[in-house]
């Protein structure tokens, strides 16, 4: 079983809420309510960075395409290599549905 570093009752509620979203529109509505626009853009950017890293795109090219800093790219790379496997799970699921980050 996975032992989360942030698990508590509030985080549990958030994760349960996310699991109940059924459409992209519902997800936009929820995340636009709970995140600031910069927070949401940052999260989206990190997901794109993760996909590009998995496709072995260079840091320089990732920075050019996404606008992400080298620190952000490095942080995402560390998560891919040593993290909780969350990025990999989501990227694999997206790929199964034909959604790939190139």
- 8 Å CB contact between 17 and 9: no
For each of the domains in the chain, give its residue range(s) and CATH number, in order of start. 9-96 (1.10.1270.10)
In 3D, which of 53, 102, 101 has the Cα closest to residue 77? 53
37-68 pLDDT, tens digit each: 999 999 999 999 999 999 999 999 999 999 99
| pLDDT at position 92 | 98
DSSP string, 78-93: HHHHHS-SHHHHHHHH
The model's pLDDT over 60-99, given as tens digits with 9 standing for 90+, comes to: 999 999 999 999 999 999 999 999 999 999 999 999 999 9
* Residue 87: exposure state from Cβ atoms within 10 A (0-12, 13-18, ≥19): buried
What pLDDT does 25 receive? 98
User: Does residue 1 register a pLDDT over 90?
Assistant: no
pTM of the model: 0.93
């Amino acid at each position: 079983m996975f032992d989360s570093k942030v698990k508590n009752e509030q985080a549990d509620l958030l994760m349960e809420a996310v699991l109940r979203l059924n459409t992209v529109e519902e997800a936009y509505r929820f995340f636009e309510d709970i995140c600031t626009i910069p927070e949401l853009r940052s999260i989206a950017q990190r997901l794109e960075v993760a996909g590009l890293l998995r496709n072995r795109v260079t840091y320089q090219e990732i920075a050019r395409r996404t606008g992400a800093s080298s620190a952000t790219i490095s942080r995402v790379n560390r998560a891919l290599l040593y993290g909780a496997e969350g990025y990999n799970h989501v990227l694999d699921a997206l790929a199964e549905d034909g959604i790939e980050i190139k």
